[in-house]
Amino acid sequence: MPAFLRDLRRRSKSSFNRQKSDGTDSSTSNSNNGNGNGNNSVPSMPTTKSSSTLNSSYGGATPPMSNSQSSSNLQTLNGIAPPPPIPPTRPPISSSSGNRHSVSGMSGLGSPSLKSSIPPSPYAPRILSIADNTWVYQKVLSMYGTIADPATQALEGNLTVSRLDDQLPPTYWPVSASHFKALIYLIPGPNRLRFDFTSPKLANSNTTNPIHSSYLTLHMLPRLCAPPLQLVILLAKDSPATFDAVPARIEQEGNGLETAIQKFRMAAYLWQAFTSEQMFRNKLGRRVFRMEEEWITGTANHRDRELGTMRSEAKVHVIRCSKTIAELRDLDLAQQNPKASRSGDLFAIASEAVKDHFKPVPGQKQYVSVLLLDSHWEKASQTITGHAALGGGGGEIQLAIFGSHALHTYPSSIEEVVPAFSDCTPTDTNYVANDCNESGSAWEAANIGIGAHMHETGHLFGCPHQENGVMLRDYVTLNRSFTTLEPYSTRTKSKGGLVLAKDECTWHRLDCLRFKGHPCFALPTDPPRLSDESVQVWLVDGGNVVVTAASGVAYLEIYTEGDDLCHVWQEFGDGNGNGPIQKQVILTEQELRGRLPADRRKSKLKLSIKSVAGGSHEVEDFSLLTSKASRLKLSNGQLAFRSSKLGFSQMEGSQSQEIIFSSAIQKTTLMTCVRVFHGFALDGIEFVYEDSTSQLFGKRGGQPGGSEFNLDTRRGEYITGFYVRSGLWLDGIAIMTSLGRKSPVFGNATGGSGSSLVPPRGYSIAGITGSCGQWVDGFGILITR
């Protein structure tokens, strides 16, 4: 038995013997619990088998014990069953002058604790960007705040951010003119943080226990409800896995694969922190894409690397492609190279390598951002070879690619972020590139590399170029989101200075709206996501246009003739505090033109309409949509309207087709069956009537005899809509009926994207319109009231 247990056992026996000899019970004789205050006594317990036998030798107070030295353990050793645990009581604070507590502003007397009733210091950090007990969904969070009132006091100093549980080391951030910005690395669950401000001009700043402190608790919830953004480093098949860097940096931190992974991972964390904050400022919640993670030695701080602490970090896949370095560098697609040719080759090579690595199944999209590690600065030709800045894709792979020519300037941990964006070391073009002549110093090269790659990742998520923000070229000021002081800029020849939130780079509002509807940005609190993300546009009576979307109409972009960028848009409700979701919206040409500047109101109008679920529909000419070309008069005198069309009608030999249902003209004619001809695409669709007549749209091809879907005429069943899979052409189709039935998808059930063609309220289907080449490549419906 350990010595301390023998000692405690001897004490326990002696106290028990004393209790028997004097006939008293220490649990009652020491009712004040040794503190002189009967109001805070421990509740009495039975004389026998009581924990008071341990208290007697400590003057009635519970002896100090470690977790492994509980009184119940000791009683068990003595053969005494332990009583139920007694709830701990907090001793009262004495009001006597002998127990004075430090107050804010008294130098050297210590910082108030998290639960202290002492008033906080007027110089305690004020977090402006996020509230206490907020839930967030990413690993690294960006925040900003102030010290005191910056309008009356411009304080300089340092902010220390630490965790109360010490699971991560403290980080240090400069305070400039009473403003600060910081990055917080979060662990799943509650993150209890302490913020300490120190300044040579304030009391207590020269001690190890500052008093200018504030506290914040943030709850981090990892998201598994959304597809991840995959990070990939792509290597040539003979690559040495190194990247361009000046000799001093190679000596300091290396330029091998492990360093590249750390820097790329940190760049992606900065993308997340920046995007989440931008979404919040746009009142769209703290939405952000997630990344696949792996359990490895932590790299986001230096202590984890030194101690080998394991953490779940963003996974960086390393893939070798089928090309050699010479072959990749021959495809010099850098913007600086006027001789660039075979545009898209690097993108195709990267796409092929990524698809071979992830092996997506049909219908499963992969979102992949690729760093081309073998990009290389050729001083002689003044070009960057093996580099391309592209984003987009289709099918199962959405892809962004960017070169590694600025990677040497990236931070590899949170501690390096401010130094990286403050490094004025001139770019030595003997070894590394000055990209677009906008990377004349290290911090500017970091902006270009991290920011331009984020721009291409924006394309991956469906963002076009915008009139401002990341999707223009505003990422040249990305540093401002993470620092309060901007150094001298070789790009603008300005000396820099204080940079606040209003000076920062942004995602454009339209980018944020796109992100909100993108599956990668879904939150656990979102309602279930509809598989039907489509938008449909219908001309109806009175020259009005009705927009319908099963998931709701989110917003529309308005373009005038010659516009490459969107300058005017209209938002609708999203169900999250910005109005209710609207599944049907009425548009008028007058109202749309009224939103435009006076000098553009007579221009041709183009609309791009987005659904809440992220779908999109283009109206190339709004006036044409509302013209007589979209109307036709049926033989029974009714007016019918052509819907917007699915498919591109661009197949060789494609010809327009249109049929009007016999049952729509003569109400006594019954449609009894729909016969669909299909293989890997929709070849044709035939409507069969009770009198054995039929109407064919498209061709009788594909599977011999087609597939039949019978209607229940005894119950008056009729067609109310179609579910269509389409892209450039029609991949597959399902029939929807008045009895709530839906046929299987005939054709390719996973091809293209899904859309529901269901007439707006008050209208019914009168026929089919579209086009057919080798198979159906255009499909719409005719509706009538």
Q: What are phi and psi of 103, to 5 degrees?
A: -120, 160
CA distances from 161 to 136, 181, 192, 206 (A): 18, 11, 10, 17
CA–centroid distance for 118 within its chain: 39
- Tokens describing residue 294: 């792996």
Tell me the pLDDT tens digit for each residue of 598-642: 988 988 999 999 999 998 998 988 988 888 888 898 888 889 999
pLDDT bucket at 344, cuts 50 / 70 / 90: low
252 by Cβ neighbours in 10 Å (0-12 / 13-18 / 19+) ranks as exposed
Tell me the pLDDT tens digit for each residue of 10-37: 444 444 444 444 444 443 334 344 344 4
The yes-or-no verdict on residue 399 having pLDDT over 60 is: yes
The yes-or-no verdict on residue 177 having pLDDT over 90 is: yes
Greater model confidence, 31 or 302: 302
The yes-or-no verdict on residue 430 having pLDDT over 60 is: yes
- Tokens describing residue 452: 């331009």
pLDDT at 667: 80
Strand partners, 497: 486
Greater model confidence, 9 or 303: 303
122-131, 267-276, 357-366, 763-772: least confidently modelled range: 357-366
pLDDT at 5: 45
Q: What are phi and psi of 593, to 5 degrees?
A: -65, -30
pLDDT at 703: 86
The yes-or-no verdict on residue 194 having pLDDT over 70 is: yes
pLDDT at 206: 63
Greater model confidence, 204 or 718: 718
C-alpha span between 734 and 782 (Å, rounded): 17
The yes-or-no verdict on residue 102 having pLDDT over 90 is: no
pLDDT at 117: 54
Tell me the pLDDT tens digit for each residue of 448-498: 999 999 999 999 999 999 999 999 999 999 999 999 999 999 999 999 899
The yes-or-no verdict on residue 196 having pLDDT over 70 is: yes
Name the amino acid, one letter, at 172. Y
Q: Are 405 and 387 in contact (CB under 8 A)?
A: yes
* Domains and their CATH numbers in the chain: 3-77 (no CATH), 121-220 (2.60.40.10), 229-482 (no CATH), 528-625 (2.60.40), 638-784 (2.100.10.30)
> What would the mean pLDDT of 149-157 be, rounded to a whole number?
92
CA-CA-CA-CA torsion sign (23, 28, 34, 38)? negative
Name the amino acid, one letter, at 585. V
pLDDT at 207: 63
Tell me the pLDDT tens digit for each residue of 707-725: 999 999 899 899 999 999 9
The yes-or-no verdict on residue 744 having pLDDT over 70 is: yes
C-alpha span between 685 and 767 (Å, rounded): 12
Ranges of H-type helices in 293-426: 302-307, 325-330, 345-358, 417-420
C-alpha span between 471 and 735 (Å, rounded): 41
pLDDT at 696: 95
Residues identified as active-site = 456
Give the full edge-to-edge strand order of the sheet including 366-372.
316-320, 229-235, 366-372, 397-403, 390-394
Angle, CA 375 vertex, CA 480 and CA 396 arms, to 5°: 85
pLDDT at 106: 38
Q: Which contiguous run of DSSP H or E holds residue 783?
A: strand 776-784
> What would the mean pLDDT of 350-368 be, rounded to a whole number?
92
Greater model confidence, 106 or 353: 353
> What would the mean pLDDT of 67-71 be, rounded to a whole number?
37
Tell me the pLDDT tens digit for each residue of 367-381: 999 999 999 998 888
CA–centroid distance for 616 within its chain: 20
C-alpha span between 166 and 419 (Å, rounded): 24
Tell me the pLDDT tens digit for each residue of 569-593: 999 987 776 778 999 999 999 999 9
3-state secondary structure of 734: strand
The yes-or-no verdict on residue 303 having pLDDT over 80 is: yes
Q: Are 384 and 448 in contact (CB under 8 A)?
A: no
Tell me the pLDDT tens digit for each residue of 220-257: 999 888 999 999 999 999 999 999 999 999 999 999 99
pLDDT bucket at 204, cuts 50 / 70 / 90: low
> What would the mean pLDDT of 536-540 be, rounded to a whole number?
90
pLDDT bucket at 116, cuts 50 / 70 / 90: low
> What would the mean pLDDT of 735-741 be, rounded to a whole number?
94
- Sequence-ordered strand ranges (E) for 535-628: 536-539, 545-548, 553-560, 568-571, 584-587, 605-611, 616-619
Tell me the pLDDT tens digit for each residue of 491-534: 999 998 999 999 999 999 999 999 999 999 999 888 888 878 88
Residues near 57 by beta carbon (within 8 Å), at least 6 away in sequence: 11, 12, 14, 15, 63
CA–centroid distance for 475 within its chain: 18
pLDDT at 332: 54
CA-CA-CA-CA torsion sign (466, 472, 477, 482)? positive
Tell me the pLDDT tens digit for each residue of 32-62: 443 444 444 334 344 433 333 333 333 333 3
The yes-or-no verdict on residue 88 having pLDDT over 60 is: no
Q: Are 619 and 511 in contact (CB under 8 A)?
A: no
Reference 697, options 717, 666, 724, 667; nearest CA is 724
For the chain, the straight-line distance linking the first and the last C-alpha, in angstroms and rounded, comes to 93
Task: Go through the chain and tell me how many residues it has.
Answer: 785
Q: Which residue has the tokens 């109307």?
A: 631
Q: What is the mean pLDDT of the chain?
A: 84
pLDDT at 542: 83
Strand pairing report for 316-320 and 229-235: parallel
> What would the mean pLDDT of 653-664 be, rounded to a whole number?
92
